[in-house]
Every structure is written in C-alpha cells, then in structure tokens.
C-alpha cells in the first residue's frame, strides 16, 4: 500500500493505492489528506485502470536512421548514444538554440529539474517549454506583474472562510471537481456564501451561483473594470491598504471611469444591473476569493484578464487575509512544481528571472556548467514555428501530445514533419507524435517512479513508487540523466530522485519559495507541506501586506479593455471556445483507456444555441461541419440554450481516430497568443457551422 497523489488535475487529491498478490490494483481517496479528505472524482476513482491496462505501453526504446525506415527496437545505450550524437552535431553546426525540449505539467518536479538543468545549464540554450504554456502562463505573468512573483497567495482552507467567491472563466464542477465539492459544502453550511460565476455557458458550476454573468467571450476585462468602477463609486475600496501597500491606484481609477457601466454591460452582453449586483456582493464581503482558469488564461489578452481580476483584490484590500485572495486553478497536477524549478523558456530555478544577470550567475555557479544564455528560449508555439522555418532542427517531446493539444494543430503537424530529428519520450503508443519520431523512449508512469508534485495551493506531496514499469521503460528523470551523461556532462549522476530533490531544494535557499530545509523524507513524514517552508509550511502569503516587488508594494496596472482575438467575419460569424468535459483528461491517452469514463460523453460534439442552429438548418444530433480559416471538424450537434447565442463550444480532448482527425478541435483554433505570456487564445476563434 502507498499513499500518493492523483496525477490528473492541480487540485492534488491524496490517494491510497494497493496492489494485491495477483497484481490487482485498487485506489481510494485518502481520508487523512487535507485536500480531499477521502473524496475522489470520477477520474481519480478510475486511476487504477490506467496503470493495470498495459496494452498500449511502450516497452523498449526504438530508433530509425532515416525517414524511409521503420523504427527498430534498440537498447537504451544505442538510443541515447545516437540521440546524443545527433544533438551534438546540431549544436556544433547550428548552435545550442537548434535543439529544444517540450515537456509537460504532468512531469514530476525532479524530472522538470533535470531537463531544465540539462538545456539551460549545460547545452546553453533556454529552449525548454512545457504544455503549462498552454495552461497557466498568463496567470504566471499576471502574478509577477501585480504581486512581484508567481505566488498564489491563498490556500484551500480559505474557501470555508470566504463569504463571496467569484469564479471567472472556469468550470471547476467538471474540471476541478473535488475542490468544487468543498465550495458546495461551504455553501451548504453557509447559505450566505455568495457565488458569482462569469462564463458564456451555463455550466454545472453556474448552477449553484447566486449570480451568473453570461459574458461574451473576450469581454472579461470590460466586466472586471466595470465592477472596479462600481466598487470605487460605492466606497468599497480600502484607502489605507491602497496607500500603504499598492502603487498605481489613481491611474486605474481614471482608466475604469472612462467607460460607463451601461456601456460595459452592452459590450459584455449582460444586464448592467447584474454587474452592479456582482460589485455589491464583492464589496460587502468580509472575505472575497476569486478562482479562474482557462477562460482568463487562454486568451490573446490573458495577462490583462488576470491583472483586471487581481486589481479587484488590490483595490478592496482583499488579499493576504483569511478567506480573501486570488486562487488560480491549475489545470495540470504539477504545473506549479515546474515553475518552481524554472521549467519554462523564460524562467530560472526558484522563481529567479532569466533577464537578471545576478540570477543567471547564481544558477550557473551552482550548476557548474556552461554560461546560461540571456536570450529567452522558444515557447511552445514558437518551437513549432521554428521547426516550420527550419531554425530549430531537433525537438525532444516529453510526456505531452502536442498534435492534439496545440492550437492550429494542422500547422504544428506539418512543422513536426519538417523537423530534422524528433525524440518522443512517452508511456503510450497512442500519441500522434509517434508517427514523426526518429527515437522513441519508453517512460515509466504514475506509481512506477518516485518524486514530488506541487498543487494549486503550493502544497508539495511525495509520490512513491509502488511497482516496476513494464518492459524496459524507465523513469523520466533517469532517461534525461542518462542522456546528459552520454552528452559528456557532469552533475547528472544522482543516486536517486531524493538526491535530485535535495539539489533543487538547496537552490531555493534565500528565495521567496525557500524550501532548502525540505527533503523527500520530511515531506513523507508530514504527508504534504506548503511552500515556502522554514520550520513549517505557509498557508497564506502577503499577510503582512508586503509583496515581492522591489518596494514591497503590489502594482495596480491600467490598460485598455479591448479584446485582441481574431475578428469575426460574415464567413465566420461564430465564436468558437474549447474546453474540457467532466470525465476526460487532456488528450485522453490515459482516461481514453477507461470504458467507464467514456460512458459520460463517448464522442466529441458541438454545443450550439438553438437559434444559431435553426438559422443554419441544424437539428439535434445532426452531423455538423464546423469550419474556420484553418480547417474544419465534423461532429454531432448538441442544441442547448445554456450556451450564449453566437458562441459554439467544442471539447478539446479528441485527436485522430484511426487516422481521421475530424473530431480534433484544434484543427480550427486560433494561432493568436498573448503578447506577454505567449499563451494561445483557445477561447476565441472565428468559425461557422453547417449541417453536413
């Protein structure tokens, strides 16, 4: 029996896993875990099927010498020696930026740490990004700009202490279910808890809301500014906090006063009265919490959406107090752990900044490798653009499936086809990337390796190994370390994952996320610990009103409220938004194996308002072609008054089925990205729909 953590979403539920004498695995929620107290959602309850069914597992390294050959099974040494030889050739000929690693928010912290160290500290490029770029990067930039660092101020215990929760652009009832059960329980215990939801769809989350604001996609900043204006006009701001602990209020006030609430209501397509009610609920609250995910983050103005929400906390002083503050809901289980080790192309370990020469020097001296480049690396979408234009020669894809998850995915697929050398490190033989792989490296899955993860409330947990991986699969960190040694680099001969973690902890000393006195053993003993950690974990940040900016004041930013997504046209007049469904996870390489999880929604669909459907002669269940400037999908129609007129919804999960990509939503999503965070705009693409 082992106590571990669910490997799906960023809620971070505690799980007890047992294996009997016959190898049968069972899972149950850990009643003693502070996050879930024994509860698991449908995905968590079915985790055991994903590890028991090994029929799709990659078991042996494979390799080919050219694209005209099929891959052959080879030894680990053969695969890694050839990969090292190819990487060295490209680095010598074209420089270190000719290679890149594209990893995942599902990697363990130790895995992130070694791959980040490898490319930044030894290869000498910052070309490492992860699929967290698609998920949280706008929140990261928002936190850094407003609070001085990528630091979630609150903890889950604040849910029970809040009396107003604003859920913006998120459906946690489906996407973070166990956290939402806590909100539902808090509401049941305290009927005065006010819940505001802003979403173009009437989701299950909205079903318990005091107030649902069915906003038009792309108008969140307008909405938040209008709420800010009312808070100011009605005297709900905190002048003492504003004066002592923030900068930028006057410019913000002047900015939000430029648009009337009625104008804002017309732009957002919600009644002005409802915006006023939302502002009053927030203003009257003793504890005001906000939660958000992709509706704010995945946008061409994702950072502005984040900042405009953070501003509501700053002008009211509702941060750093019990029951108050912003909680970004992490999509992936360890997106936060990845950020802690600096696992994005513009970050350094322990939240150090790549653009800071002193920070680069500190890390370089610690690692003892090559000079850390001051040039930010390629981000997720930029990597595929660089493959397309030939400047990037080799890409190593680790634990992620970009040919389902990237926007404008047909272009990404064409780019991958042009790559000179592709390495795919994976557990499953299903991902579409394998068709383009020159080298395939079989990886160990959840409970077949050990390491740590950090959930959305900064809670670090240890995940033990319960069973051996099948075949010759290896833990991801070991694969990277073996490769680094084949490259001739020192400093990768760790005895185990605990040694990697010890090095990561040491590198955090003196930073705002200091966990230098932590170790695997300390976390095991405590079950879970929140960072920063000295003698004990820290539930809340900024309780003293001091932020991580140079003058310790939070920054209230001002900016225009215009959306910068692609424009609608007579040819493509509908707004496409994509998202998750309750029982599937990302690109379905794990949840897609579980029959029970397919029962909820077995195939993709388009949700469309009945009036939009009637205009196009579309009936319930009809096959519909949804087309945009970049391609099309063909799925069945689901007519629903729960989606805003003029907006259609596609689930993000489906990729190619028997080579057919007609259910793949990202065929038609927009290639636009936020200028600051480089996060793609999955929530706004111009499309049309017709009966097929």
Q: Which residues contribute to the site for ligand SF4 (CB under 6 A)? A: 6, 8-9, 11-13, 36, 40-41, 43-44, 176-178
Helix (H) or strand (E) holding 15: strand 14-19
Exposed/middle/buried for 443, CB within 10 Å: 0-12, 13-18, 19+?
Answer: buried
CB atoms within 10 A of CB 208: 16
For residue 24 the two structure tokens come to 């049968």
Q: How far is the CB of 42 from ligand SF4 (least distance, A)?
A: 8
Q: Which is nearer to ligand SF4, 51 or 440 (CB)?
A: 51
Q: How far is the CB of 382 from ligand SF4 (least distance, A)?
A: 30
Q: How far is the CB of 396 from ligand SF4 (least distance, A)?
A: 27
Largest CA distance in the chain: 71
Q: Which is nearer to ligand SF4, 39 or 635 (CB)?
A: 39
Side-chain-facing half-sphere of 677: CA atoms under 13 Å: 32
Q: How far is the CB of 524 from ligand SF4 (least distance, A)?
A: 19
For residue 366 the two structure tokens come to 């610690």
Q: How far is the CB of 521 from ligand SF4 (least distance, A)?
A: 24
Residues near 270 by beta carbon (within 8 Å), at least 6 away in sequence? 213, 214, 215, 223
Check if the beta carbon of residue 182 is closer than 8 Å to that of residue 156: yes
Residues near 528 by beta carbon (within 8 Å), at least 6 away in sequence? 12, 14, 33, 34, 35, 459, 460, 461
Q: How far is the CB of 199 from ligand SF4 (least distance, A)?
A: 19
Q: How far is the CB of 455 from ligand SF4 (least distance, A)?
A: 8
Q: Which is nearer to ligand SF4, 74 or 173 (CB)?
A: 173
Q: How far is the CB of 287 from ligand SF4 (least distance, A)?
A: 23
Residues near 275 by beta carbon (within 8 Å), at least 6 away in sequence? 213, 223, 226, 227, 230, 261, 264, 265, 268
Q: How far is the CB of 6 from ligand SF4 (least distance, A)?
A: 3
Exposed/middle/buried for 66, CB within 10 Å: 0-12, 13-18, 19+?
Answer: exposed
CB atoms within 10 A of CB 1: 8
Q: Which is nearer to ligand SF4, 8 or 249 (CB)?
A: 8
Check if the beta carbon of residue 200 is closer than 8 Å to that of residue 58: no
Q: Which is nearer to ligand SF4, 41 or 422 (CB)?
A: 41
Exposed/middle/buried for 570, CB within 10 Å: 0-12, 13-18, 19+?
Answer: exposed
Q: Which of 92, 10, 86 is nearest to 44 (CA)?
A: 10
- Tell the residue number behind the tokens 């050219």, with chain if given: 66
Q: How far is the CB of 36 from ligand SF4 (least distance, A)?
A: 6
Pairing of strands 246-247, 554-555: parallel
Q: How far is the CB of 498 from ligand SF4 (least distance, A)?
A: 24
Pairing of strands 288-292, 325-328: parallel
Check if the beta carbon of residue 158 is closer than 8 Å to that of residue 325: yes
Q: How far apart are CA 591 and CA 588, in angstroms?
A: 5
Q: Kindly give the residue spans of alpha helices, DSSP state H, lying in 117-176.
A: 137-147, 158-161, 172-175
Q: Which is nearer to ligand SF4, 80 or 463 (CB)?
A: 463
Q: Which is nearer to ligand SF4, 36 or 290 (CB)?
A: 36
Q: Which is nearer to ligand SF4, 171 or 274 (CB)?
A: 171
Q: How far apart are CA 330 and CA 457, in angstroms?
A: 9
Q: How far apart are CA 353 and CA 587, in angstroms?
A: 32
Q: Which is nearer to ligand SF4, 433 or 530 (CB)?
A: 530
Q: Which is nearer to ligand SF4, 42 or 78 (CB)?
A: 42
Q: How far is the CB of 51 from ligand SF4 (least distance, A)?
A: 14
Pairing of strands 451-454, 459-463: antiparallel
Q: Which is nearer to ligand SF4, 40 or 108 (CB)?
A: 40
Q: How far is the CB of 330 from ligand SF4 (least distance, A)?
A: 10
Exposed/middle/buried for 413, CB within 10 Å: 0-12, 13-18, 19+?
Answer: buried
Q: How far apart are CA 109 and CA 332, in angstroms?
A: 13
Q: Which is nearer to ligand SF4, 28 or 238 (CB)?
A: 28
Q: How far is the CB of 177 from ligand SF4 (least distance, A)?
A: 5
Q: Which is nearer to ligand SF4, 12 or 442 (CB)?
A: 12
Closest-CB residue for ligand SF4? 44
Q: How far is the CB of 580 from ligand SF4 (least distance, A)?
A: 11
Q: Which is nearer to ligand SF4, 14 or 402 (CB)?
A: 14
Q: Which is nearer to ligand SF4, 182 or 540 (CB)?
A: 182
User: Can you say whether the dihedral through the CA atoms of 305, 684, 201, 263 is positive or negative?
Assistant: positive
């Amino acid at each position: 029996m082992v106590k571990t953590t669910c490997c799906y979403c960023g809620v971070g539920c505690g799980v007890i896993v047992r294996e009997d004498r016959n190898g049968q695995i069972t899972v149950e929620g850990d009643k003693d875990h502070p996050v879930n107290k024994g509860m698991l959602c449908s995905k968590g309850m079915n985790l055991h099927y994903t590890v028991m069914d090994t029929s799709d597992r990659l078991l042996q390294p494979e390799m080919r010498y050219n694209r005209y050959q099929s891959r052959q099974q080879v030894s680990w040494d053969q695969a890694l020696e050839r990969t090292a030889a190819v990487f060295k050739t490209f680095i010598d000929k074209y420089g270190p930026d000719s290679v890149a690693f594209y990893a995942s928010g599902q990697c363990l912290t130790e895995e992130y740490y070694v791959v980040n160290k490898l490319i930044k500290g030894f290869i000498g490029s910052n070309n490492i990004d992860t699929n967290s770029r698609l998920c949280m990067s706008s929140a990261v930039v928002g936190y850094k700009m407003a609070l001085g660092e990528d630091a979630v101020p609150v903890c889950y215990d604040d849910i029970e202490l809040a009396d107003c929760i604003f859920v913006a652009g998120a459906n946690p009832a489906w996407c973070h279910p166990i956290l939402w059960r806590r909100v539902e329980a808090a509401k049941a215990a305290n009927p005065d808890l006010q819940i505001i939801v802003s979403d173009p769809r009437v989701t299950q989350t909205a079903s318990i809301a005091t107030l649902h604001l069915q906003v038009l996609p792309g108008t969140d900043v307008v909405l938040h500014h209008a709420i800010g204006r009312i808070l100011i006009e009605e005297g709900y701001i905190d002048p003492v906090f504003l004066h002592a602990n923030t900068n930028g209020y006057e410019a913000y006030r002047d900015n939000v006063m430029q648009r009337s609430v009625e104008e804002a209501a017309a732009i957002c397509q919600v009644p002005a009265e409802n915006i006023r009610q939302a502002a009053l609920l927030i203003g009257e609250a003793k504890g005001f919490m906000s939660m958000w995910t992709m509706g704010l983050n995945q946008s061409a103005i994702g950072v502005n959406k984040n900042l405009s929400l953070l501003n509501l906390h700053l002008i009211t002083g509702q941060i750093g107090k019990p029951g108050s503050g912003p909680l970004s809901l992490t999509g992936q289980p360890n997106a936060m752990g990845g950020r802690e080790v600096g696992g994005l192309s513009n970050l350094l370990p322990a939240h150090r900044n790549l653009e800071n020469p002193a920070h680069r020097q500190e890390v370089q001296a610690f690692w003892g490798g090559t000079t850390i480049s001051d040039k930010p690396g390629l981000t997720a979408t930029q990597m595929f653009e660089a493959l397309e234009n030939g400047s990037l020669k080799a890409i190593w894809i680790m634990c992620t499936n970009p040919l389902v998850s990237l926007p404008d995915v047909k272009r990404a697929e064409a780019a991958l086809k042009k790559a000179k050398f592709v390495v795919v490190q994976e557990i499953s033989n299903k991902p579409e990337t394998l068709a383009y792989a020159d080298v395939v490296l079989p990886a160990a899955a959840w409970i077949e390796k050990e390491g740590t993860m950090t959930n959305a409330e900064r809670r670090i947990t240890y995940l033990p190994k319960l069973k051996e991986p099948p075949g010759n699969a290896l833990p991801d960190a070991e694969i990277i370390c073996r490769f680094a040694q084949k490259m001739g680099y020192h400093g990768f001969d760790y005895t185990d994952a605990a040694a990697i973690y010890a090095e990561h902890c040491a590198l955090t000393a003196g930073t705002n996320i200091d966990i230098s006195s932590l170790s695997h053993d300390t976390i095991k003993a405590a079950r879970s610990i929140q960072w920063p950690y000295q003698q004990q974990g820290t539930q809340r940040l900024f309780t003293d009103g001091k932020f991580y900016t140079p003058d310790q004041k939070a920054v209230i930013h001002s900016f225009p409220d215009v959306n910068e997504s692609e424009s609608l046209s007579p040819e493509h007049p509908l707004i496409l938004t994509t998202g998750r469904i309750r029982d599937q996870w990302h690109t379905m390489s794990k949840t897609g194996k579980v029959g029970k999880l397919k029962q909820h929604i077995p195939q993709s669909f388009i949700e469309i308002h009945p009036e939009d459907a009637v205009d196009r002669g579309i009936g319930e269940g009809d096959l519909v072609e949804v087309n945009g400037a970049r391609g099309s999908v063909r799925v069945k129609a689901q007519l629903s008054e729960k989606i805003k007129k003029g907006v259609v919804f596609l689930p993000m999960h489906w990729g190619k089925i028997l080579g057919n990509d007609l259910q793949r939503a990202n065929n038609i999503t927009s290639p636009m990205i936020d200028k600051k965070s480089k996060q793609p705009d999955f929530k706004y693409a111009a499309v049309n729909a017709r009966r097929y």
